[in-house]
Structure 1
């Protein structure tokens, strides 16, 4: 009887161990990419050579604030392309050759800033399942000319309200472009060059909009801007903690119009030496034109003087 009990216990433990060995891993926990570029998201999962692909279920999706946007789905070992959300239509490809090796490789092309967010792959096979997530941040490139105002877009990743909004420039010291908390801007530690020039586009953050409005831009404003939001998250009945995610990167390029690029300094104003050179060239051109006019007049006068004696003889003969 004891022997039977031990055998049953070993079977139970071995089955639990097998179930525990099924794991889904993500190759990279965080991805950075630029708008209109491409990215490859990759997960791996445990496979069994004797397992049946008819019992394989996969669903990979972007976790959006109000719903999940499906990129890729497999049901009973068969791909279900119709389940793909129209947001990703024609932009996602799968490496089918590596799927049987336990690798999910999704190539997302023509990236949009709206593609930023949390990506989750849930894999089920037989009676076991596991899932793993990764973060994708798609940066936007915005080009403006000096003196304009510009909006740097950023939106909350979920419907929870923001407690603190941070806009930073990592290359500056201090790095804070705008710190917004307690429903108002906090100028402490703000970089001096942005004082009285930045604000949230909507202080009420309607629909999760935490975009930054920057006025009177100069070429020194060019650079990488990062948007980070802190939100409250309940942990248990009474414990409340703040969680933060970098949810948007924006590259700002401030440059004069193409026809005015030459001869401008970094602040967008015209270089004095270049102005003097252009002025000197204009003076030289004017002198040359005047010389040509005077030369032409002298030539005409000389021609008249040469022809006047002949004309006088002709008149006397008459």
Structure 2
């Protein structure tokens, strides 16, 4: 009797163990790069009888069959053709409860969610795997572009200038490393100037160049491409010559107010509609005495740089008045003392300290007070 009861207890425990199984998948998304191989984890804590076992790996978005284990065997004939020869079980691990899948030569089209469904005679359980490719952030001109490794990307650059394109030099530079990505010079694309990393991968849209479109197509984006790319063309600087203070900058087809010294923020600006006509004049508003001095306008093109200068002088008028009688005692106007404008009572008696005027000192000396 004891033997029969013991055997019955063993059978009950065995059935309960099958009913209680759970399936484990990865806790976090699996991050891969194109061309990589990746294991999609799926396992149970305790091995299951092979004669009762069926395991399916499917894509959730389309129910595409990635791989199937059935009747004690792997069934490659059941796979969708996109996964044929690329997805396989670790066959020796299945008896141990490991149903993980190896996916080789991963492509961007493989991104997405997968489910591992384990069936027994009593029930089924599922686990999920999220296969992702790392976003790369590539910036060019004024916008950020998000792209997966292995994909192609277009970075826009439009040159709006009065100069013929044959006279332009347009460079695409990877700014964090100073690498030459692409060059247009003397009316031609110059692939021999590219860094070897971008040879055959970066190119202009040749038929668009006569229209001033110097956008770049970058093929097969790689992890090391992450970062900022700059399209460099015409550049115009306005600076104060005594201090090299940046008053305003036009660069890469845009006014760059963020480059201004804070003293000129929102006070100095280009006539944006005039720049394509070759007019780089600057408007300075709310002028202060501190703005006096020499300024230079530096225009950079592909071949050379040229400068022009402007001298900002403030026309001061300084009056000394006897307020109770509104009598003009002394006048400085148009950079000169004006004794002829004095009231006769002060003629020859009131004068400036001439040598002090350039320093801003307009003190008056009054002789023979009475």
TM-score when normalising by structure 2: 0.36
Structure with larger RCO (C-alpha < 8 A, sep 6+) = 1
Higher helix share: 1
